[in-house]
Amino acid sequence: MSPPNQETMQEMPNMPNMQMSFYWGKHGTVLFSGWPKSGGMYTLALFFVFFLSMAIEILSNQPPIRRGARPASGVTAQAVVYFFRISFIYLVMLAVMSFNGGIFIAAILGHSLGFFLAKFRAVAMANREPSDLEQKV
């Protein structure tokens, strides 16, 4: 990326030099100014984005509220899960907006694995044997 010219610097004196196209490498800014500073921190950022993306998909496929549950407790539990899911979505979006190719791939792989795990669990739950209680009724 070419450095900004003098006119641009005078118009935006406090604007950091940000990447505006995809790039590869461990040098850049992901979520926080100055982070990551080293290869180890970059690897941590990749895992952080990967697991956040995976959590988003798993939290998106939460089971419905059980029949007979108290409305306040059921809705409160779902609202708390929704709060964390939306928070994770925005964090992953901001990380991907760093335009780092590794971060982008970590987000895509995390979403894909999370979707697989959530759907695998849903299919396993649907195919499980009915309990003895359900057989008696």
| Percentage of the residues of the chain whose pLDDT score is greater than 90 | 45
pTM for this entry: 0.75
In the DSSP assignment, the letter for residue 38 is: S
Q: What is the pLDDT at residue 133? A: 47
Asked if residue 42 lies in contact with residue 105, where contact means CB atoms within 8 angstroms, the answer is: no
Q: What is the pLDDT at residue 5? A: 53
Q: What is the pLDDT of residues 61-70, one digit of tens each?
A: 877 777 777 8
Spell out the residues 6+ positions from residue 18 whose beta carbon is closer than 8 angstroms to its own: 29
Per DSSP, the three-state class of 92 is: helix
Average pLDDT, the chain: 83
Token readout for 43 is: 């690897």
Q: What is the pLDDT of residues 21-69, one digit of tens each?
A: 888 888 778 888 878 888 899 999 999 999 999 999 999 987 777 777 7
Res. 9: pLDDT tops 50? no
Measure CA 77 to chain center: 20
